[in-house]
């Protein structure tokens, strides 16, 4: 193949297993003038394996904007550039997004070369049948911010997908359980496509214990897939609303919700969301 001049190719690379690279990705990596890599050591392993030499530059050594300017400069010289990240599809929760935005803004063609991505790999093996998912990337590192974001997601019917680092996975899963409720199911997908690949599905109430049962369960790279919120039928909402309206006239929101849970047997999270909506209506 001949690479287009002044074109940025966004090339997906393996997330672990070096055989997970597409034929087209290899063709593009061979054909371009420059391979712009997030970490040249990581990408060198892939290029060596497939006998592709030279033409690699590190572009994320300073900051995202500097990288973007550097690549735009190469395109201005008429070069073809392949953008690769450490693993998976560039621009999905990694600095590639800034580069692609800058290149598009500068008016150069951007060509995707699709392939592995940890989010899709985890979803494909999760066994959840929901056809919708919401990819949330990394949750905030600070607990209060993280819990705030999760609270916004409580009523979301789509599956929730998160990336997480090993040193934060226990606290993150504990917050998922506290905010979304212990009954929901989670798939903990770690080290996908690698030797120690583990895909564990359980209720959120059991997830922290599973992580703590074995040091190895907390090692490596993680994708967390959480089942979406159970759908509430319209008729249920009407019942909840009637009960909540009466209670909210007499009690603060939290107490009203707690009592409504006891009276209706409904989910605390669903009732909480309905109570917030009713307060907004008032
Ligand atoms: N762009 C990448 C993609 O398409 O998946 C993701 C980049 S992001 C900086 C890195 C995160 O992806 C890791 O912290 C982890 O959450 C997830 N990840 C990457 N490789 C993985 C793997 N082999 N198994 C599980 N999660 C992985």
| Residue of 16, 43, 60, 88 to mutate, ligand 1, most atoms within 8 A of C-beta | 88
Q: How far is the CA of 90 from the centre of ligand 1 (A)?
A: 11
Query: Any residues with CB less than 8 A from the CB of 155 and at least 6 apart, and which?
Result: 229, 269, 270, 273
Residue 52: domain span: 8-116
Residue 110 maps to which CATH number?
A: 3.40.1010.10
d(CA 226, CA 160): 5
Judge whether 81 lies within some domain. yes
Q: How far is the CA of 94 from the centre of ligand 1 (A)?
A: 9
At 241 the pLDDT is 86
Please give the backbone phi and psi of residue 220, each rounded to the nearest 5 degrees, phi first.
95, -155
Whether residue 222 contacts residue 169, with contact meaning beta carbons closer than 8 Å, is answered with: yes
Question: Are 134 and 160 within one domain?
Answer: yes
Whether residue 106 contacts residue 50, with contact meaning beta carbons closer than 8 Å, is answered with: no
Question: Are 277 and 221 within one domain?
Answer: no
Report in angstroms the alpha-carbon separations of 105 from 37, 72, 82, 95. 21, 10, 17, 16
Which atom of ligand 1 approaches the CA of 89 most closely? Answer: 4
At 232 the pLDDT is 57
Per-residue tens of pLDDT for the chain, all 282 residues? 888 889 999 999 999 999 999 999 999 999 999 999 988 998 999 999 999 987 898 887 567 888 899 999 999 999 999 999 999 999 999 889 999 999 999 999 999 999 999 999 999 999 999 999 999 999 999 999 999 999 999 999 999 999 999 999 999 999 999 999 999 999 999 999 999 999 999 999 999 999 999 999 999 999 999 999 986 565 666 678 888 988 898 889 998 888 888 777 778 888 888 899 888 865
Question: Which residues sit opposite 135 in a β-bridge?
Answer: 161
Judge whether 42 lies within some domain. yes
| Domain end residue (candidates: 93, 116, 139) | 116
Question: Are 124 and 180 within one domain?
Answer: yes
Judge whether 39 lies within some domain. yes
User: Which residues line the pocket of ligand 1, CB cutoff 6 A?
Assistant: 15-16, 85, 87-89, 92-94, 117-119, 163-165, 189-194, 221-223
């Amino acid at each position: 193949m001949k690479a287009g001049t002044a074109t940025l190719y966004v090339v997906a690379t393996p997330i672990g297993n070096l055989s997970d690279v597409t034929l087209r990705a290899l063709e593009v990596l061979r054909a371009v003038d420059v391979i712009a890599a997030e970490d040249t050591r990581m990408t060198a392993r892939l290029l060596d394996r497939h006998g592709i030499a030279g033409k690699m530059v590190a572009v994320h050594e300073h900051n995202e904007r500097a990288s973007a300017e550097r690549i735009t400069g190469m395109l201005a010289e008429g070069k073809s550039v392949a953008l690769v990240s450490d693993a998976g599809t560039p621009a999905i929760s990694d600095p590639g997004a800034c580069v692609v935005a800058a290149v598009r803004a500068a008016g150069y063609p951007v060509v995707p070369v699709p392939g592995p991505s940890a989010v899709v790999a985890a979803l494909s093996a999760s066994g959840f049948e929901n056809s919708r998912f919401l990819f949330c990337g990394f949750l905030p590192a600070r607990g209060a911010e993280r819990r705030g974001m999760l609270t916004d997601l409580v009523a979301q019917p789509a599956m929730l997908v998160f990336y997480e680092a090993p040193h934060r996975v226990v606290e993150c899963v504990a917050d998922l359980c506290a905010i979304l409720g212990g009954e929901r199911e989670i798939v903990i997908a770690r080290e996908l496509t690698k030797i120690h690949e583990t895909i564990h599905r359980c209720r959120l109430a059991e997830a922290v214990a599973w992580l703590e049962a074995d040091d190895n369960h907390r090692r490596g790279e993680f994708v967390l897939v959480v089942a979406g919120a159970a759908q509430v039928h319209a008729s249920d909402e009407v019942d909840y609303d009637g009960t909540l309206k009466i209670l909210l006239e007499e009690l603060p929101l939290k107490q009203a919700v707690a009592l409504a849970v006891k009276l209706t047997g409904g989910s605390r999270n669903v009732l909480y969301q309905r109570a917030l909506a009713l307060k907004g209506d008032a």
